[in-house]
Amino acid sequence: MASRSRPVDTRKRRRRMTLLWIAVVGLVIILLLRYEQLALLYVLATLSVAALLIVVSLSDLSGARKAAAESAPFDDSAAIGDHTSSPLVSPVLTEPRASKRG
């Protein structure tokens, strides 16, 4: 009987791999600083920023387009400023509020 991989196991494995990558990258940076290889560190930093920009530029933004295509919710701010009646606007208080100080 073949066992199925549960989503929890997948998340834990991904988390472990992420932590491993963070540790490896941190160790590489520490070693480059320790052995004063700043030129190589600058090149790697530039390449990593370029890779990040490429990933962001190629990312799927279809969800953002759907949200932008939706109509804006009913906005009655102009009616509030003009003191015109609207079903969504609460009536304006004609009497001053009583002080809560006792």
Query: Domain-by-domain residue ranges, the chain?
Result: 9-56
pLDDT digits (tens, 9 = 90+) for 22-31: 999 999 999 9
Phi, psi of 19 (to 5 degrees): -65, -35
Residue type, 5: S
* Mean pLDDT of all residues in 64-76: 63
DSSP-derived 3-state class of residue 66 = helix
pTM for the structure as a whole: 0.49
pLDDT digits (tens, 9 = 90+) for 4-38: 657 789 999 999 999 999 999 999 999 999 999 99
